[in-house]
Amino acid sequence: QTQLLGVLLAAASNFLISVSLNIQKCAHRRLVCQAEQKPYYRSKLWWCGITLLGLGEVGNFTAYGFAPIALVAPLGCVSVIGSAFISVFFLKKTMRTADILGGTLTITGIYLLVTFAPNAPQELTARQVQNYLVSWPFLVYSILEIIIFCILLYFYKRKAVKNIVVLLMMVALLASLTVIAVKAVSSMIALSVKGKMQLTYSVFYIMIVLMAACCAFQIKFLNQAMHLYEATAVVPINFVFFTTSATISGVIFYREFRSAALLSMFMFLFGCLLSFLGVIIVARNEKEEHLQIPFIDCGHIPGQKLTGKIQPDSHSSCYGTLNKEDDSVKRQS
């Protein structure tokens, strides 16, 4: 029952995040269309979206205290798929075949994930976290992770390699430590609320510092990737990398698949694969949206009937072009 609560909490939280993102987009659209421009942070609709986003992230944080990392992390696909479907109502987008196919694959993958997820005990005490931190599998894993991260950081800083794979691999490596810390902090808070005080242990505050530091650098590299590449490329790759690294960290640090059968592990991995495919299909077929700039109406040229408008073109050296519908205007010019 505790694990089911974590699943429902994670799914609901990611759904809230998808709603919040669409509300924020809707708020930006409305601001662009207004005659008198004002900052986005003065929009009530935008603040409504931010509030829902905060609730969603808090819900995700809490879900790690009730369910395994290997189950909570892949449920991030709910926000990606949910956003594609909710945008039909909020942003008046057209439902595409890719959305239906991707949604079907993702829902099937989620069903397999929930059915064959590891059934690990979720009461995580501070002493258990301390023991996990000094266990040899985690020490080996953390050393390998640090070495790989330093190599990637060297290419990023010294060689100025800004490849999307390099950036998102660094994000994923940081994310693996983030989810370890998030689950530890969330579980210790949950136990403390139940009456088993865990907040007096120093490991609790060590995990908070680790969580905050990893989150900060994660956001830095993810923002860099979003700045250099389109969201249609960043979203699916980041989801695949994040889910993979989070699942591996849960297996190594919390030993979540320790007593799982081989068939359960295979079906769980197959569910992850279906979720990956679903997110990739939806995100890769999503067109990049640019907020429309109001066109410039030149009125009428004397002696001619002009129905076209001049529209600034940011991809051309010319200021704008006339519609090709009126051939008479084109010939006389």
Q: What integer best gives the mean pLDDT of the chain?
A: 82
The model's pTM:
0.78
Q: Quote the tokens at residue 251.
A: 């297996």
- Strands 311-312 vs 320-321: parallel, antiparallel or unpaired: antiparallel
- SS3 for 5? helix
Map out the domains of the chain as residue ranges: 121-255
Instruction: Give how far the C-alpha of residue 154 lies from the chain's centroid of Cα atoms, to the nearest Å.
Output: 26
At 165, list the tokens: 């794979």
Asked if residue 325 has pLDDT above 60, the reply is no
- Measured CA to CA, the distance from residue 272 to residue 76 in angstroms comes to 11
pLDDT of residue 18: 86
Q: What is the pLDDT of residue 333?
A: 41
pLDDT tens-digit map of 215-256:
999 989 988 888 888 878 888 999 999 999 999 999 999 988
The span from the CA of 144 to the CA of 151, in Å, is 11
Kindly report the number of other CB atoms within 10 A of residue 22's CB atom.
23
pLDDT bucket at 44, cuts 50 / 70 / 90:
confident
Share of the chain above pLDDT 70, in %: 82
| Strand boundaries in the chain, DSSP class E | 311-312, 320-321
Burial of 287 (0-12, 13-18, 19+ CB in 10 A): exposed
- Best CA proximity match to 6, nearest among 82, 60, 77, 54: 60
- Residue 292 pLDDT: 47
Distance CA 208, CA 216 (A): 12
Indicate if the pLDDT at residue 323 is higher than 50: no
Amino acid occupying residue 259: S
Q: What's the pLDDT score for residue 330?
A: 43
pLDDT (0 to 100) of residue 35:
62
* DSSP 3-state of 45: helix
pLDDT at 1: 66
